[in-house]
Structure 1
Amino acid sequence: MEGPLSGITVVDLTTNISGPSLTMILADLGAEIIKIERPDNGDDSRAMGPFWEGEGVYFLHINRNKQSMVVDLKQESGRQIVYDLVGQAEVFVENFRFNKCEQLGLGYDKLKAINPSLVYCSLSAYGQEGELRERPGYDAIAQADAGLMGINGSEGSEVSRIPVSILDQGSAMWGAIGIISALFHRERTGEGQLVTTSLYETGVFWMGYHMLSWLVTGKEPEKMGANHTAFAPYGAFQAGDGLLMIGISNNSLFKRLCSVLGKLEWVEDPRYKTNPARVQNMKELAVKIENILQEKTADDWVDLLARGGVPSSKIKRVSEVANDEQSEAVGMWSNLLHPEITDFKLPRLPFSLSESPVSIRKVPPKLGENTMDILERAGYSEEQMRSLLDTGAIQGNLKVKK
């Protein structure tokens, strides 16, 4: 069975994390991704370690199911290659700094003139408007600017970023949703359009109820660590041999927790009877809960709480999650045959489709691995490809026909 985007061709001019994460989503959904990389070094993420048999893990993670070609966009002949590919494609994606594509002659208006039905996606740090639009920005910078870093961590702790590329990959998700929506519109009307998103917009959106709470109360949100501003008990608790997370969001769950802990009298205690009361007295309540939890191991409590219908988990390390039975049960890992890496596997996208499955079909490409194949399919002759190689407009291995 083919993926839902089978037959869709995407010209991909992205690098680093955000843009390649977006095109990875489209690739896993079945689209053909033509990844255009700069000469010699290619995508910046190729050099981001640690390295697995010489391949950067950042690149490996988000560039499966793609074809790589090397094109020098500073040369007119290199830009002409992009024009030719765009003329045959449905989607174009870039994540350069503001106005860079326009300066290269690859802006929306230029490519729209070549292909009026093109869906053009621009993923940036700060969006297409405002004073900050020309600033460079990475995930951590946008976390700081959007307020996420300011609320991350525990009370009195140093400032810390959320230690995953949450805005890079988050904006990739919104970009993919925007592209798919634009393709649906294109299917109905024949019209292409411009899709824009940014790390900053994603960050502000994900501030969510913290932003609305400030609008209502005028109070800056406090750092809560593993706790929650709106629910209690909700956070990390010390058991006999380690930490576990417990989440109580309503009175029914609190009663179940009290039953497991042998403290049903707390249910009618005025300090804990309602969620607002528990939030007001969360520190006192947490001490009482931890005094009981330290009587057993974290594993024992997770088992007891699960049987009692209380949401909880051990706070796991990466090594535990990688080997977790649940990860295996839901099929999070895809095993792939890699020419150089033994036992190569990648995590799949976190959703499934019953009739048009999401799949990882191809390992991440070597730099320029598919340059000649792509040009040949685009109608370039062997003579033209030799000329482009000679001028350095492209890089790759020309297969000599016998």
Structure 2
Amino acid sequence: MIPQEQNFGPLAGIRVLDLTSNISGPSATCILADLGAEIIKIERPGAGDDARGMGPHMQGESAYFLAINRNKQSVVIDIRQAEGQRLIRRLAQQVDIVVENFRRGVLAKYGLDAQSLRADNPRLIYCSLSAYGEEGPDANKPGYDAILQARTGMISITGSRSEEPARSGVSVLDMGSGMWSVIAILSALHHRERTGEGQVVGTSLFETGIYWMNYHLLAYQATKRDPVPQGTSHTAFAPYGSYQTADDLLLIGISNDSLFGKLVNALGHGEWAEDPRFRRNNDRLLHRNELNDLLIECFLQKTCGEWLDILDRAGVPCSRIQKVSQVYHDPQFEAMKMMCTVPHATLGTVSVPRLPIRLEKSPNEIKTGAPVLGQHTDEVLRRYGVTEEELVTHKANGVIG
């Protein structure tokens, strides 16, 4: 086997067979790819990863797919065919990691489950992502991000009290599960470095949602009351949340009494800090509505930009509630170089957000945009030992594309 030329990042030399689709699994392998691992993304003939069909599209390319499939190689193999399954097993014997997010039991039918693949490659780290986990009455149920946000209680606390509950505007459980998967994989790599043995690792959207709800679960033990949606406010602090200014919405976060003093002095109402209703955070929580009435009237007197200048100078945490179009022009966004422009086979170039981590000695890098379907099939299979004669036969039989 001739390895792919991959000489950047702390995971350079690590090879990953990516059997994932949609958001959760590709989020995990995207992180591994940006850290330098070689990612061989297996896609089904015809449509490929379901994410390719998720709109909106740019010249036929899905924004969803572009975001989390950069730095990967697309190989089309029909795993429903016996020859396709044999190809996958040949690849799995030569890689370090397999990542999959199929429904529980599906890959076992094809002989591509952890037990089957690790029998041929004991050093293999096999990572499974699922909706509900590997045990329990719902282990075989399908589930997507919003479904699991509902199941784990997240939706019940999101939104405002005056409206119906809302899901998070980003796929926090999909991407969060991807992050936990990477943590598990890196831990397993460290274990293998010491012992020489691979292992099965994994997580689920259900487990991720329960973990994200951690302090609400603990608060329920203390109060025996269900938390309710708070909008932009916070159950533990006051004042905390958004206020309408003369032209836009401003969000402030006051998490202690010292910050409250800075806020009211900046507003020109230092006397509020001495008001018995507002002197301590617990007092302000009890009299939140009265305090909010005062703040609502005050913030309407100036524009959001004027208040931002005043509060920034006073050291009060605050922000305009920005739209995506405004984020693109945020000076901090530009200074942190959050977007990377990389080559793409059909778009020419595409800009994608970088990983939010920094490594001094082995920096991560995005070298290529997301692949078009089957872009690397021949190249990868040759590199992993498939002969020209086999390629011709497999193409003729629809095993590869």
TM-score (normalizing by structure 1): 0.97
Q: Which residue of 2 aligns with 1:78?
A: 84
**Deviation at 1:341?**
2.3
Give the aligned length: 395
Matches within 5 A, 1:2-401: 2-341=8-347, 344-395=350-401
Task: Specify whether residues 386 and 187 from structure 1 end up closer, same or farther in structure 2 by C-alpha distance, changes over 3 A only.
Answer: same
Q: What letter is aligned with 2:291?
A: L
**Deviation at 1:343?**
5.5
Separation (CA, whole Å) in 2 of partners of 1:91 and 1:172: 14
Query: Cα deviations across residues 151-176 of structure 1 (Å, max 9, x unaligned)?
Result: 11111311221111111001100001
What is the SS of the residue equivalent to 1:177? helix
Instruction: Report if the CA contact (8 A) 2:220-2:226 is conserved.
Output: yes
Separation (CA, whole Å) in 2 of partners of 1:14 and 1:299: 45
Q: What letter is aligned with 2:397?
A: T
Instruction: Report if the CA contact (8 A) 2:344-2:371 is conserved.
Output: no
Query: Cα deviations across residues 53-87 of structure 1 (Å, max 9, x unaligned)?
Result: 11011111110000000101111111111111111
Q: Which one is further off, 86-95 or 338-347?
A: 338-347
**Deviation at 1:339?**
3.9
Query: Cα deviations across residues 247-296 of structure 1 (Å, max 9, x unaligned)?
Result: 00001111100110111111121111111111111121111012111111
**Deviation at 1:186?**
0.7
Query: Cα deviations across residues 363-383 of structure 1 (Å, max 9, x unaligned)?
Result: 111111111111111111100
**Deviation at 1:2?**
2.0
Separation (CA, whole Å) in 2 of partners of 1:343 and 1:264: 54
Q: Which runs of 5+ in 1 are unaligned?
A: 396-402
What is the SS of the residue equivalent to 1:132? coil
Q: What letter is aligned with 2:365?
A: S
Separation (CA, whole Å) in 2 of partners of 1:182 and 1:237: 47
Q: What letter is aligned with 2:183?
A: I
Separation (CA, whole Å) in 2 of partners of 1:244 and 1:132: 43
Query: Cα deviations across residues 314-364 of structure 1 (Å, max 9, x unaligned)?
Result: 001111012222111001010123343255211111111111111111111
Q: Which residue of 2 aligns with 1:398?
A: none
Q: Which residue of 1 aligns with 2:3?
A: none
Separation (CA, whole Å) in 1 of partners of 2:92 and 2:45: 20
Separation (CA, whole Å) in 2 of partners of 1:240 and 1:221: 32
Separation (CA, whole Å) in 2 of partners of 1:180 and 1:319: 36
**Deviation at 1:210?**
0.9
Aligned sequence identity (%): 51
What is the SS of the residue equivalent to 2:200? strand
**Deviation at 1:49?**
0.9
What is the SS of the residue equivalent to 1:245? strand
Task: Specify whether residues 351 and 294 from structure 1 end up closer, same or farther in structure 2 by C-alpha distance, changes over 3 A only.
Answer: same
What is the SS of the residue equivalent to 2:213? helix
What is the SS of the residue equivalent to 1:133? coil
**Deviation at 1:209?**
1.1
Separation (CA, whole Å) in 2 of partners of 1:79 and 1:361: 30
Q: CA RMSD in A?
A: 1.0
Task: Specify whether residues 197 and 280 from structure 1 end up closer, same or farther in structure 2 by C-alpha distance, changes over 3 A only.
Answer: same
Separation (CA, whole Å) in 1 of partners of 2:249 and 2:349: 32
Instruction: Report if the CA contact (8 A) 2:165-2:229 is conserved.
Output: no
Q: What letter is aligned with 1:229?
A: T
Query: Cα deviations across residues 69-111 of structure 1 (Å, max 9, x unaligned)?
Result: 0101111111111111111100000001111111221111111
Separation (CA, whole Å) in 1 of partners of 2:252 and 2:348: 39
Q: Which residue of 2 aligns with 1:400?
A: none
TM-score (normalizing by structure 2): 0.97
Separation (CA, whole Å) in 2 of partners of 1:163 and 1:6: 34
Q: What letter is aligned with 2:229?
A: K
